[in-house]
């Protein structure tokens, strides 16, 4: 179990990293927002980079939980499970005010200047795509998509398209790009 102070910092950090990004996240602002003494921050985290990487880890726990719930729902066909994951993510983005994906935001901000973040975020996207590919492979085996489909590539393209749509959604402050992307992908890319 995570220490309550550490958890409070991670929870606030997720919101603040989504809103401000890494470079504009001030540790002092985080401490004030959470009512945490500076020493407590450095008790739980070596430095700001360590903190942000742990926020990403927590974010991925939520992503994997959502993937487990959606992709494991045997009551839906495989393509329905994949789409459901993205629909639920879209609903989550709406609740947060269309701030988008933490991975996408930090990836755009930091991938050109930090190999640590570039590698971490690319690994996270790859994990998501691998999980989706398993479900898409099930759809291929059932005949729901073309027999010669490369499901790993399809999953990777789906994640790439989603991230672009998430950026556009943030810019517009609404779900239209996310919805349009999902409709296009499931009507075109996976059509038999």
Per residue, the 3-state secondary structure of the chain, as one string, reads CCCHHHHHHHHHHHHHHHHHCCCCCCHHHHHHHHCCCHHHHHHHCCCHHHHHHHHHHHHHHHHHHHHHHHHCCCCCCHHHHHHHHHHHHHHHHHHCCCCCCHHHHHHHHHCCCCHHHHHHHHHHHHHHHHHHHHHHHHHHHHCCCCCCCCHHHHHHHHHHHHHHHHHHHHHHCCCHHHHHHHHHHHHHHCCC
The span from the CA of 164 to the CA of 182, in Å, is: 12
pLDDT band of residue 70 (cuts 50, 70, 90) is: very high
pLDDT at 67: 98
pLDDT of 74 > 60? The answer is yes
- Percentage of the chain lying above the pLDDT 70 cut: 98
Look up the pTM and report it. 0.94
pLDDT at 1: 73
- 49-189 falls under which CATH superfamily? Tetracycline Repressor, domain 2 (1.10.357.10)
pLDDT at 191: 63
What is the Cβ-side half-sphere exposure of residue 158, based on CA atoms within 13 angstroms?
29
Q: Read off the pLDDT of residues 108-152 as tens digits, 9 standing for 90 and up.
A: 999 999 999 999 999 999 999 999 999 999 999 999 999 999 999
The domain spans of the chain are 49-189
Q: Read off the pLDDT of residues 17-55 as tens digits, 9 standing for 90 and up.
A: 999 999 999 999 999 999 999 999 999 999 999 999 999
């Amino acid at each position: 179990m995570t220490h309550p102070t550490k958890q409070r910092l991670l929870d606030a950090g997720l919101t603040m990293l989504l809103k401000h990004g890494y470079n504009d996240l001030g540790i002092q602002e985080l401490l004030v927002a959470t009512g945490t003494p500076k020493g407590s921050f450095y008790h739980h985290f070596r430095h700001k980079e360590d903190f942000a990487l742990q926020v990403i880890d927590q974010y991925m726990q939520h992503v994997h939980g959502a993937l487990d719930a959606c992709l494991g729902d045997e009551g839906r066909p495989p393509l329905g499970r994949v789409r459901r994951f993205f629909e639920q993510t879209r609903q989550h983005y709406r609740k947060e005010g269309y701030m988008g994906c933490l991975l996408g935001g930090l990836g755009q901000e930091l991938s050109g200047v930090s190999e640590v973040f570039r590698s971490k975020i690319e690994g996270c996207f790859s994990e998501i795509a691998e999980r989706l590919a398993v479900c898409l492979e099930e759809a291929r085996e059932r005949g729901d998509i073309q027999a010669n489909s490369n499901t790993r590539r399809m999953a990777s393209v789906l994640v790439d398209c989603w991230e672009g749509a998430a950026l556009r959604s943030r810019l517009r402050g609404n779900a239209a790009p996310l919805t349009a992307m999902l409709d296009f992908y499931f009507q075109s890319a996976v059509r038999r």
